[in-house]
Homo-oligomer: A and B are copies of this chain.
């Protein structure tokens, strides 16, 4: 039979991340490809204890829940966000299956075919997939290490009349950069001037290496909470398997997203939500995050040392997050090089798929959180060998 799919499927892109996950599962390859947190620090016992508390708690714990998610967890989330300067009410928090679903539901209620979405370039690959799946038109704004370029941003807001702006301002994926406070404020001012919503994707904000600086979230800078939606997740700070993310923003938008979520899956796993509630209530998550910061900083430095010894590659030392974004000599095509690297027992993500326009083929993303220091050393040795060999051959 010939299956005729919906028009929107023409915009589905087969994901290179999927192929990469397949690579990861081959035993011998050391992968710096996935955006995976380290299993070494998963709070396994504490999480197991949290599940025991769910089972001991009440008969209704295993019954259907409400679409918005487990209310006591939303109350704790409100408090956690308050520590970051974000004002919210439990009623305007929606629990989602990872922050990926928050981006999906937001897009579902906002994007009509042809609507413009403004993003950074490069930006989070799987967000681009969502915008395209709803037949949105993605346009990127020029930017530098401090964030979006204000002039290009204003000009595109004015002429393109975007439906919303998607940004990852703190320790971004893939670039690992953090916006300056000035650029954050400018973005919000322009959003208000032109009445455009911002969705701030913040999965990495808490993985900060330098305690001295602060990177205020956009949501904390916009106290009226009319223009900024904020989404984050516990995938990086607790464990990914829980698939527990959330989004908060203007109540009217959240209400519409609740309706969308009800049709999408009724609600996310309420067992996981309840376990997360007990974990947040009884476990020192901030202490755990402090541990992650130290450990990931160590790992980042291991990777950095190898990169610094490589000639012909440039990168910015990340101030947090999970990635180093590397630029090779212009003539190198990192997608073409990947099979060779994999054959040599190491994997990375080529940068091209993260670009909305003008893909820089000579870029690639390295994850430093998932591998132990020993594996980082071995993998970086392998990668250095591949890269220096190629540099020599191609010069």
Contacts and interface: CB of A to CB of B under 8 A. Distances in A.
Interface stretch (A170-178, A207-215, A257-265): A257-265
A6 B134 contact: yes
**In the complex this chain forms, how many copies of it are found?**
2
A390 interface: no
Interface string A7-27: 111001011001001000000
Contacts of A104: 263-265
B268 A243 contact: yes
A39 B62 CA distance: 8
A262 B55 contact: no
B42 A47 contact: no
Interface residues on A, range: 35 or more
A12 B269 contact: no
A240 B266 CA distance: 11
A115 B5 CA distance: 11
A250 B97 contact: no
A126 interface: yes
B39 A241 contact: no
Interface of A: 1-9, 12, 14-15, 18, 21, 34, 36-37, 39, 42, 44, 47-48, 51-52, 55, 59-67, 96-98, 100-101, 104, 108-112, 115, 126, 129-130, 133-134, 163, 195, 197, 226-227, 235, 239-243, 250, 252-253, 256, 259-260, 262-272, 274
6 contacts: A6-B108, A12-B256, A62-B241, A63-B240, A98-B265, A271-B272
